[in-house]
Every structure is written in C-alpha cells, then in structure tokens.
Structure 1
C-alpha cells in the first residue's frame, strides 16, 4: 500500500518539478545592517526589466526585478549618494550549488550603468526551470554570461577587498 501511495505522489509531483523551479524566499544582506528576506511575491512586485545574453550562439531574453531595486529593499546607499566608502562595496551573489559571482555596487546602480542587472525569474517569457531558478542574475551588456549566476539563493553586499 505504501508503495502505491509513493508512486502516486511521484506521478503527481513529477510534472510540477519538470515545469519550473520552486519559488522561494531570497535573503539579502547588507554589511552593517540587518538581513531582509524577500518573498517571491515581493520580488515579483519590484520594478522589472529585460536583459539579453548570448548563450550557445543564440540570444536569450531574461526578465525579472532590477537587482538595484532588490538591494534598495535591503537599505543600500544608491544614486547620487553612492560615492566614497559606499562605492567600495561589492555584491556577492550566491547560488545553491556553491557558485558565487561578484559585481561592484556601482555596476548595479542606474546612475553608473546604462544596461540593467536583472534578478530574472523568466527566460524567453517562461518561468525559469529547476536548473536555472528560482532566480538568475543576468548582467545585460556582458559579452559572456560568466557573471550571470543561476540558482541564486542569497545576495550579500559587503566592503570591498
């Protein structure tokens, strides 16, 4: 009987797992401040943008919240106030598989950068799959997608090195 229940549950859950990543909370930490945890609904409600990268010779369009807006929720200094010691900060993006990538804080701020950095939750109009999601940071304008971390679970802003 247990085997039948397990098989039935697996059949029911299989299509759900195959269609996309499970939405989850995102922890954002700014050094010297408290961490904030943003729910998927909070992330989805932030101003959005599109970013295009080339992968295997094809253009791929990602869409999601502006990373700058996510960082504002955690209390980063931005805009015209982003200078001096604040400009020495780095944004560390952590993925579920242990991969990390870094951006300078200026690279996330529209005062310093024309192309957006996006915390994507869709690719080509569809939700990210389990391999890429729940979020992928996409740096629009990069010639290679090396800094476009997938499976992002946490973001940390800290003093530069």
Structure 2
C-alpha cells in the first residue's frame, strides 16, 4: 500500500466518523426513540458547567442536560424511577467504539445534585476536532474517564 492509499484510507475513516457523530440516536427502553441532529440539540435548553479536564484545567462547558434528552425520549425518570426501574442504565457510545455506563439515578435531577451534560461547546467555542461535535461532561468526577467524546448513541437498558 502506498502513502497515497494510506492517506486516503485515513481520511475516509475520519470523514466517516465525523458523519456518524453529526447526529445522536437515543434508543432501547424508551417510549420515543430519537435521532437528534446538531440543529435539534442546538435548539434545546442549554446549561453551563465548570469542570476540570484530565490536566486539572477548568473549562466552561455548555450543553444539554442528559436528563432532558432522556425525558424527551420517554425514559422512566422522576417519580417512576423506583422498583425494577432502578436497575436501568444508560450506555453511551462514541464513533470509535468507546462505551461508558451511567445508572439512571445518577442522571436524574430528583436523585443527584450534579448535572451531567451532552456538551457542544467548551469555553464558548465548538468542541475541538476529535472531541466533538458532542461530548459527555461529568462534573465532580476525579477522573474524566466517562467524559466520552464523539457521542453517537445513547441506549437505555435493564440490567439483567
């Protein structure tokens, strides 16, 4: 394989990942599966959180609370989040296959004090290449290992 072929292959893979990340699917144990575009997310109510990255540098992230997205999809939250529904979780996937897990109570504002967001801006600017267009930001965690970037899919499931 020549250098031109390698460069073409790498460029095609990067473009493919960018196209996949331009929308987010919300699926699984939901009453209203969603396919949210960047425009859909941009039109939603935004919040801002200040959180430190892995280097300890504080940034201002702007985005939609994950709770709000899950409510729009009809996920069992609030007063209905009890009993067997307490075993539901959210699996978030990125374009490169990385996955992170959240229990529903830690995303629900009636259970938790922090707000986990799907960010589309950092310090007033769109997320940098390779980190966006959407990233989960989890304020208050000592390690940002669940700060998944290039989010493509959110799946709600029962733990069984």
TM-score by length of 1: 0.81
Provide the residue aligned with 1:43 in structure 2. Answer: 41
Alignment partners' CA distance in 2, 1:63 and 1:24? 17
Secondary structure (helix, strand or coil) at the match of 2:145 reads: helix
Q: What 5-or-longer segments of structure 1 have no aligned partner?
A: 1-16
Q: Which runs of 4+ in 1 moved over 6 A?
A: none
What is the CA-CA distance between 1:30 and the residue it aligns to?
Answer: 2.8
How many pairs were matched up?
A: 142
1:98-126 deviations in Å (ceiling 9; x for gaps): 10000001111100111100000001111
Cα deviations across residues 19-60 of structure 1 (Å, max 9, x unaligned)?
A: xx7772210003264531112222122222222322212112
Across the aligned residues of Structure 1 and Structure 2, the Cα RMSD in angstroms comes to 1.9
**Separation of aligned partners in 2, 1:122 and 1:96:** 18
What SS does structure 2 have at the residue aligned with 1:68?
A: helix
Q: Which residue of 2 aligns with 1:122?
A: 121
Greater displacement, 79-88 / 33-42: 33-42
Task: Report SS of the residue matched to 1:153.
Answer: strand
Show structure 2 runs of 5+ residues with no match: 1-14
Tell which structure's C-alpha radius of gyration is larger. 1
